[in-house]
Amino acid sequence: MQPLPLLSYFAQQAQAKLPADVWHYLQSDAGSGLQLQVNELGWQSKKLLPRPLRALQQANTRCELFSEQWAHPLLLAPVAYQRLFHADGEIGSAVACNAQQGQMMVSSLASQPISEIVTQAQQPLWFQLYWQGDRERTAALLQKALAAGVSAVVFTVDAPVKQALIDLPDGISAVNLAQPLSMRPVHMGQSQVFDGWMTQAPTWEDVAWLRQQVPIPLLLKGLMHVDDAKRAVEYGCDGVVISNHGGRVLDSTPSVAAVLPAVVAAVGSQCKVLVDSGIRSGQDVFKALAMGADAVCIGRPYIWGLAAEGAMGVAKVIRTLRDELEMTMALTGVSNLSELRQVGLFE
Ligand code: FNR
């Protein structure tokens, strides 16, 4: 029997260790699993051409974004309630991220205090902001993150209607929120969506307001349409994260790989373009960079590592993806990320 690749091994370990409802919360998409496949196949269907005999002794995967230097272009995407998966929680992921010289986006729904996560990480982290129903509450959460010393704010805009729900066990909650956002009650005949949820959802005017409140780099996460990416630039954002939230919000969207080239062509010279959703190997990371992404975020795979082995598991997942990226660079004759962006992909 073939040995399992390390990431698949961690996925198996995670499934074996986690309660069934937590595993389902982690793995599910907004439909019946098809969107996950679309996301993964988007990257996997692109092809690479080997280019042997190049001298690559000095090659590296170094990456610079917003004056931060990392050893590689892999970021940990924001994932809520990480103590659900392992007692190490967000602190475990952050410590692993630092050990691997990378960067992490800490979720608004983190299960440990943001100040403690940043302190334990021993490096400034990025903060992922969810709209808190109104400007006052959103500003309060933002201030808490800024006071903790975060170095960028990633405003997630694709999930005004939250679908991935789980009954949280006692002792696990979104500890950085003053109080959980409760939905406005609707009357008979009113729409739960438009009269309820959407009255508490942000709009472009709120993005303009937020830009005034954030003195550090601001990115919008969860864009797929070229016009929205252009608008993010017009509203003064420093970056966009092209993402369909790992397929967890709207079913039947294209893969990120399918929309990325048009976004890069439209805004790639004006802001940083990051991606996530369906990245499962260093080859996928390579392809996203070759298609013009400045950096690549991973979601579920590092949580498999966290569930399997805590902080050490997260570190191993990052290192594995980086090793695979380096191997792919070696086999395609690429010595750094600028060169990588010039590589053509095959369909
Ligand atoms: C998420 N994601 C997410 N995104 C965000 O902006 N804030 C959040 O709190 C969460 N929480 C969350 C929980 C879980 C269990 C998952 C799986 C995902 C989305 C995440 O940041 C990212 O966009 C996707 O996970 C990327 O897709 P892959 O790598 O999981 O396929």
Q: Which residue has the tokens 């993402």?
A: 243
Q: Tell me: pLDDT of 142 over 90.
A: yes
Q: Ligand 1: does its nearest atom lie under 6 Å from the Cβ of 93?
A: no
Q: Is residue 52 part of a domain?
A: no
The rounded distance, in Å, linking the Cα atoms of 122 and 309 is: 21
Q: Ligand 1: does its nearest atom lie under 6 Å from the Cβ of 79?
A: yes
Q: What is the pLDDT of residue 183?
A: 76
User: Which token pair is 133?
Assistant: 């129903």
Q: Is residue 54 part of a domain?
A: no
Query: Exposure pattern of 112-144 as b/e (b: 16+ CB <10 Å)?
Result: bebebbbebbebebbbbbbbbbeeebbeebbeb
Whichever domain contains 218, its CATH number is 3.20.20.70
- pLDDT band with cut points at 50, 70 and 90 for residue 143: very high
Residues 6+ apart with CB under 8 A from 276: 77, 241, 242, 243, 246, 256, 296, 297, 298, 299
Mean pLDDT of 308-323: 98
Q: Is residue 212 part of a domain?
A: yes
User: In this structure, how many other beta carbons lie within 10 angstroms of the beta carbon of residue 338?
Assistant: 9
Answer yes or no: pTM beyond 0.95: yes
In this prediction, what percent of the chain has a pLDDT beyond 90? 91
CA distances for 173 relative to 82, 84, 117, 187, 251, angstroms: 10, 9, 15, 29, 27
Q: Is residue 55 part of a domain?
A: no
Q: Nearest 5 degrees, angle CA 273-CA 278-CA 284? A: 70
Q: What is the pLDDT of residue 2?
A: 66
Q: What is the pLDDT of residue 344?
A: 78
Tell me if 219 sits within 8 A of 274, measured CB to CB.
yes
How many structural domains does the chain have? 1
Q: What is the pLDDT of residues 47-82, one digit of tens each?
A: 999 999 999 999 999 999 999 999 999 999 999 999
Q: Tell me: pLDDT of 147 over 90.
A: yes
Q: Tell me: pLDDT of 337 over 60.
A: yes
Transcribe 278-332 into DSSP letters. Answer: S--SHHHHHHHHHTT-SEEEE-HHHHHHHHHHTHHHHHHHHHHHHHHHHHHHHHH
SS3 letters across 200-215: HCCCHHHHHHHHHHCC
Q: Nearest 5 degrees, angle CA 308-CA 280-CA 90? A: 45
Q: Ligand 1: does its nearest atom lie under 6 Å from the Cβ of 35?
A: no
Question: What is the residue range of 263's domain?
Answer: 6-47+60-340
Q: What is the pLDDT of residues 254-271, one digit of tens each?
A: 999 999 999 999 999 999
Q: What is the pLDDT of residue 1?
A: 60
Q: Tell me: pLDDT of 163 over 60.
A: no
Tell me if 270 sits within 8 A of 238, measured CB to CB.
no
Identify residue 35 by its one-letter amino acid code.
Q
From the list 86, 187, 225, 245, the catalytic residue is 245
Distance 116 CA to ligand 1 centre (A): 21
Cα dihedral 267, 268, 270, 276, rounded to 10, equals 90
Tell me if 185 sits within 8 A of 177, measured CB to CB.
no
Q: Are strands 239-242 and 126-129 parallel, antiparallel or unpaired?
A: unpaired
Mean pLDDT of 134-162: 95
Q: What is the pLDDT of residue 5?
A: 85
User: In this structure, how many other beta carbons lie within 10 angstroms of the beta carbon of residue 187?
Assistant: 6
Q: Which residue has the higher pLDDT, 209 or 162?
A: 209
Q: Tell me: pLDDT of 28 over 90.
A: yes
Question: Among this protein's residues, is 86 annotated catalytic?
Answer: no
Q: Tell me: pLDDT of 334 over 60.
A: yes
- pLDDT band with cut points at 50, 70 and 90 for residue 182: confident
Q: Which of 245, 274, 297 is the best mutation target for the ligand 1 pocket, counting ligand atoms within 8 Å of the beta carbon and taking the most?
A: 245
Q: Nearest 5 degrees, angle CA 315-CA 129-CA 239? A: 80
Q: What is the pLDDT of residue 162?
A: 58
Q: Is residue 128 part of a domain?
A: yes
Residues 6+ apart with CB under 8 A from 282: 320, 321, 322, 323, 324, 325, 326, 327, 328
Q: What is the pLDDT of residue 131?
A: 95
Q: Is residue 53 part of a domain?
A: no
Q: Which atom of ligand 1 is nearest to the CA of 26?
A: 15
Mean pLDDT of 126-144: 97
Q: Is residue 183 part of a domain?
A: yes
Q: Nearest 5 degrees, angle CA 21-CA 247-CA 175? A: 55
CA distances for 236 relative to 125, 141, 150, 194, angstroms: 21, 21, 19, 28
Q: Ligand 1: does its nearest atom lie under 6 Å from the Cβ of 280?
A: no
Cα dihedral 117, 120, 122, 124, rounded to 10, equals 10
Transcribe 182-235 into DSSP letters. Answer: PPPP--TTS-IIIIIGGGGS--HHHHHHHHHH--S-EEEEEE-SHHHHHHHHHT
Identify residue 347 by its one-letter amino acid code.
E
Mean pLDDT for all residues in the chain: 95
Q: What is the pLDDT of residue 81?
A: 97
- pLDDT band with cut points at 50, 70 and 90 for residue 185: confident
Q: Ligand 1: does its nearest atom lie under 6 Å from the Cβ of 78?
A: yes
Q: Tell me: pLDDT of 347 over 70.
A: no
The rounded distance, in Å, linking the Cα atoms of 241 and 129 is: 13
